[in-house]
Homo-oligomer: A and B are copies of this chain.
Amino acid sequence: MSTEALLLDAALRTWNANLDRASKLFEGLSEEHLQQEIAPGKNRLIYLWGHLTAVNDALLPLWGFGPRLHPELDEVFIKHPDRAKPTPSAAELKQNWQEINAALNPAIFKLTPAEWTDRHTAVSPEDFLREPHRNRFNVLLSRTNHLAYHLGQAIGRS
């Protein structure tokens, strides 16, 4: 493998490891368990799961893979804090989570290292000339970290 392929491989492994960990955690919790808060007065576990689902869904257009599958999740899990809107059931959320990840994961393995360092769709070609770090790969790493961060919040309380 070339150096760039090895660098990319490590990042995709870390992404997948976190995604698997999140799936194992959230998919294994009951409807009641998902209603628990991570700390008194803080987000419920179902809110964290829905939030991560909405963020993954937004990666589809951001990385140029296609339109969002569940943009309606943003209303509940991105634009408003927990408890402001009714949340979907655990079964529904699980279906969304699996559907979105099944759309993401074949696509990310098809991109070449050069495509990963190309701009994502939220940055204009002009801005990208000045800020070449605003590329797909940077998003992959920050979303992997975002997953790990919320896993840290969820675990111990789940």
A: residues with CB less than 8 A from B are 1, 3-4, 6-11, 13-14, 18, 38-39, 42, 113-114, 116-117, 132-133, 135, 137-138, 141-142, 144-146, 148-153, 155-157
Which of chain B's residues have a CB closer than 8 A to the CB of A132? Answer: 1, 6
Give CA–CA (A141, B12) in the complex, Å.
10
B142 touches A145 (CB 8 A): no
Residues of B within 8 A of A114 (CB): 3
Which residue in chain B gives the minimum CB-CB distance to A145? Answer: B148
With both beta carbons as reference points, the residue of chain B lying nearest to A149 in the complex is identified as B152
How many angstroms between the C-alpha atoms of A13 and B149 in the bound complex?
A: 17
User: Are B11 and A156 closer than 8 Å at their CB atoms?
Assistant: no
- Nearest Cβ on chain B to A24's Cβ, whole angstroms: 15
Among B38, B116, B142, B144, the residue within 8 A (CB) of A7 is B116
Known A141-B141, A142-B14; contact A6-B156, beta-carbon cutoff 8 A: no
Partner of A149 from the list B8, B113, B148 (CB cut-off 8 Å) is: B148
CA distance A116 to B9 in the complex (A): 13
Top-5 shortest CB links A-B: A152-B152, A149-B152, A6-B117, A148-B148, A145-B148
